[in-house]
Amino acid sequence: MATISKKSQLMPASAIRKLVPFADEAKSRGTKVFHLNVGAPDIKSPTVALDAVKENTLDHISYSNSAGLIELRKGMVEKYYRGIGIDIELPDIITTVGGSEAVNMALAITCDEGDEIIVMEPFYTNYNTFCFMNGITLKAVHTDIRSGFQVPPVEAFEQLVTPRTKAILLSNPGNPTGTLYSKESMLALGEVARKHDLFLISDEVYREFCYADEPHFSAMHIPGLEQNVILLDSVSKRYNLCGCRIGCLISRNPEVMKAAMKYAQARLCPPIYGQLAAIAALDTPPEYFDAVKQEYIARRDLALRRLNAMEGVYSPVPQGAFYTVAEIPVDDAEAFAKWMLTDFRMDGCTTMVTPAKSFYKTPGCGVNHIRLAYVLDLPLLDKAMDVLEAGLQAYPGRTL
């Protein structure tokens, strides 16, 4: 009998989606599940984007250029990136199938099998998955919950650098932590990249979700690092268009873009309808972002106030994205998250959270950490926190 590849057997399954069957079972028993476990916002997409698709007059949905429609690339360069002070030209950008493809492409562009990437833990778990798929070793610099998951001194990075290290990969603001990196931190990481000839791969899909006073400082803003920086971006979170599967990869390094084009041509083109939505989304009025931002700030404030008022719970206040990582008083956050679905309910409801262990590379880290996405409106979020608090009190593996 034909057997599948070892790679496929060993490939990690999505830790975030692992508990979904238990949530489905809970729902089938009539339990209402508050989903704080996935970064799937409940906010409407911009009307201009939705209308552009509804009003399209295409009578034949053919391939676009592998790099994406020229209107989209030109629009992103001139309307979006120029507006946030990132000056790039048309050859510096390629449209991808979501931010996910951009991550995978950046890894393939920079690393051969056996090469190494440095990331800060906790990190987006699919970084690990894509590294695994490409045969890349992911090495983690630990960041501490008590320090708000901020960037550690550069020595922590430098001591991980080997001749096989090819890049530093980060997300800013961060998933799962919501941490926003300062200009100083980004410049320091830029120096590490420059000194050791590394690529700096910056995943900035949450850029529009910054709640600090200072503006977001992009890796593209680091002076003199043009040949090292690869920017990964997406319309998914910015415009609540996750299902369009439109992202992009940006670099001023022509070798990087030449390679990106080869990978892009192999999969022919990004989805057309999503590109139409993304083109129109460039004209989203500023009020849309203002309203979204105010809403997320209110949600963050509520979630963090509630969390930190729970006995034995600690979470730093995130300055970006719509996630936070919290330490909770349990023996094993994965067992707790599962128990919430299988054994607990309050007023017919339960709350689903993501155990954070899989966001860490260092064994033993994050065992009592969870990630929460504040993607529910305020009344639902408040109720979800009531349920979480009660669950923590009732959980048999409580450590307090």
Told to check if 202 binds a second copy by CB under 8 A, we report no
Told to check if 223 binds a second copy by CB under 8 A, we report no
Distances (CA, A) of 17 to 38, 39, 173, 353: 9, 12, 22, 11
Residues numbered 11 to 30 that lie near a second copy (CB under 8 A) are 11-14, 17
Residues numbered 236 to 255 that lie near a second copy (CB under 8 A) are 240-245, 253, 255
Told to check if 131 binds a second copy by CB under 8 A, we report no
Residues numbered 99 to 118 that lie near a second copy (CB under 8 A) are 100-101, 104, 108-113, 115
Nearer of residues 272 and 367 to a second copy, judged by Cβ:
272
Q: How far is the CB of 392 from a second copy (least distance, A)?
A: 28
Told to check if 2 binds a second copy by CB under 8 A, we report yes
Nearer of residues 269 and 310 to a second copy, judged by Cβ:
269
User: Of residues 274, 318, 329, 391, which one binds a second copy by CB under 8 A?
Assistant: 274
Residues numbered 46 to 75 that lie near a second copy (CB under 8 A) are 49-50, 53-56, 58-64, 66
User: Of residues 48, 156, 161, 272, which one binds a second copy by CB under 8 A?
Assistant: 272
C-alpha 182/C-alpha 173 separation (Å) is 10
Told to check if 197 binds a second copy by CB under 8 A, we report yes
Nearer of residues 4 and 400 to a second copy, judged by Cβ:
4
C-alpha 225/C-alpha 101 separation (Å) is 23
C-alpha 295/C-alpha 313 separation (Å) is 24
Told to check if 90 binds a second copy by CB under 8 A, we report no
Nearer of residues 352 and 392 to a second copy, judged by Cβ:
352
Q: How far is the CB of 109 from a second copy (least distance, A)?
A: 5
How crowded is the C-beta side of 18, counted as CA atoms within 13 Å? 16
What is the bridge-based pairing of β-strands 369-373 and 354-355? antiparallel
- Measured at the alpha carbon of residue 376, what is the angle toward residues 371 and 380, in degrees to the nearest 5? 110
For residue 276, the tally of other CB atoms under 10 A from its CB is: 22
For residue 263, the tally of other CB atoms under 10 A from its CB is: 18
Q: In this structure, what are the phi and psi dihedrals at residue 323, rounded to the nearest 5 degrees?
A: -125, 160
Tokens of 35: 């989903």
Tokens of 296: 């997320």
Kindly give the residue spans of alpha helices, DSSP state H, lying in 134-182. Answer: 155-158
Site string for a second copy, 139-178 (x = CB under 8 A): ---------------------------xx-----------
Q: How far is the CB of 155 from a second copy (least distance, A)?
A: 21
Distances (CA, A) of 220 to 235, 292, 396: 18, 25, 49
User: Of residues 37, 126, 172, 177, which one binds a second copy by CB under 8 A?
Assistant: 126
Task: For residue 70, give the DSSP letter.
Answer: H
Number of residues lying near a second copy (CB under 8 A)? 83
